[in-house]
Amino acid sequence: MSLTSKLVLSLLVSAGSLAADSVGYFDDTSICADSKGLSKCYDKADTSLSSCINNNCAGGGADCYKSCNGDTTCMQSQCPNLGTDCMNACSCVQAVNQIDCIASSCWNQVYSCEYQRTIEDVLNLCALPDMDQFPFWPPPDDAASGCSCNIGKMDKKELLIVDQMTTCTNNMTNLDQMSSVDAVNDYGQACICCAESAILSTIWDTCPNTKPSLLDVDGWYNGFIGQNDWPTCGDYLDAYDCAGDLGFGAKDAGGTTTFYKLGGLPKNGTGTLYNTGSLTTPVSGATFTWTFGTIPHVVTAVSTDHVVAAATATATSTGTQSQTGTSTQTGAASTQTGMAIAKDVPIWTTLASVVLLVSALF
């Protein structure tokens, strides 16, 4: 290659880097069908967050928001009078708005790592969200263009497992058969141990090729597993039927069939998180409606003639999708994922006021 050619190539690469925009979990919005539209939509969501905090959260919301540059972690630390619950409610609305942004301006990446991480924000911040309402989530197992790890599938299973732990420990049919305090305590610990093992199994078995550290295994251990006598769980896993008698094998409880013990986990994966391609046709057509809580969201896919990556997709009348083509790896900002809500369950069970605030903000 001549010196002139190298110089031209260098200038083109530099220009492309300068043109690339970063919003939310997207390091490079150029992978989206409507890059500028996505950035503008995210800016609008950020403005709405600022307005929500300033108008609804007590304790000098405007000054705190400005000093922390809108960072909610900073505001929670530096301005405790604002109220974590209020800021979470406002951030919930922001995350839901970002779902609409992606579905409209980045519809070709609705199975991406970035989109699935945005759904995680809704699950972490919103009061008792209905997981079955989210569009394009979790992605189908055979999606030709998505994230290298099906984060949504993993997250949903983890939350179902946590729900089953609560169901298990409160199962009066089982508890009524026990005649001693020790038996009740052992049963309760067995429910917890089965849940801990099921969560670890979900992480390792759903994405066996991905580094567990990128899938928040450390967060799960520090926030839940390590706090509940995990080293002693081997005996409970041997003595109790987690999948059958305790219910963790049921589909609506996560469908776990393998329960790993301490020291028995499979070899760690070594891969990172990345996107495998891009859709060329909106999954649910040019316009669709999804509902969050009781609020309908009408979304129109824009720039549908803008094809970004090599993959083909055909939307069916039922909203499902058949896909053909070769998926190519695309850049993903998703270096790590995590489900904070499950480690703090049940953080929302007494927050009726937050539910009312979120409903009022949409």
Matching residue, tokens 């390091």: 27
> pTM of the entire structure?
0.78
- CB-side neighbour CA atoms (13 Å) of 195: 30
Tokens representing residue 217 in the block: 């295994």
pLDDT (tens digit per residue) in 27-73: 999 999 999 999 999 999 999 998 888 888 865 566 777 777 777 67
Task: Say whether pLDDT at 317 is over 50.
Answer: no
Please enumerate in sequence order all residues whose Cβ is within 8 A of that of 120, keeping only pairs 6 or more positions apart, or say none: 151, 155, 337, 338, 339
| Averaged pLDDT score across all residues of the chain | 81
Task: Say whether pLDDT at 341 is over 70.
Answer: no
Phi/psi class of residue 111: alpha, beta or left (left: φ > 0; alpha: ψ in -120 to 50)? alpha
Mean pLDDT, residues 73-99:
84
pLDDT (tens digit per residue) in 140-174: 988 878 999 999 999 999 999 999 999 999 999 89
Quick check: helix, strand or coil at residue 220? Answer: helix
pLDDT for residue 351: 31
pLDDT for residue 305: 64
Helix (H) or strand (E) holding 7: helix 3-19
Helix (H) or strand (E) holding 77: helix 72-78
Task: Say whether pLDDT at 212 is over 80.
Answer: yes
| Percent of the chain whose pLDDT exceeds 70 | 75
Partners of residue 330 on adjacent β-strands: 275
pLDDT (tens digit per residue) in 245-292: 999 999 999 999 999 999 999 999 999 999 999 999 999 999 999 999
Mean pLDDT, residues 218-238:
95
Task: Say whether pLDDT at 135 is over 80.
Answer: yes
What DSSP string runs through 224-292?
Answer: TGGGTTGGGHHHHHHHS-TTTTTSTTSGGGT-------TT-PPPPP-B---B----SS-TT-SEEEEEE
pLDDT for residue 64: 73
DSSP annotation of 205 reads H
DSSP annotation of 178 reads -
With 0-12 CB in 10 A as exposed, 13-18 as middle and 19+ as buried, what is 69? exposed
Task: Say whether pLDDT at 3 is over 60.
Answer: no
Whether residue 346 is preceded by a cis peptide bond, meaning omega within 30 degrees of 0, is yes
Which of 95-104, 135-144, 350-359 is least confident?
350-359
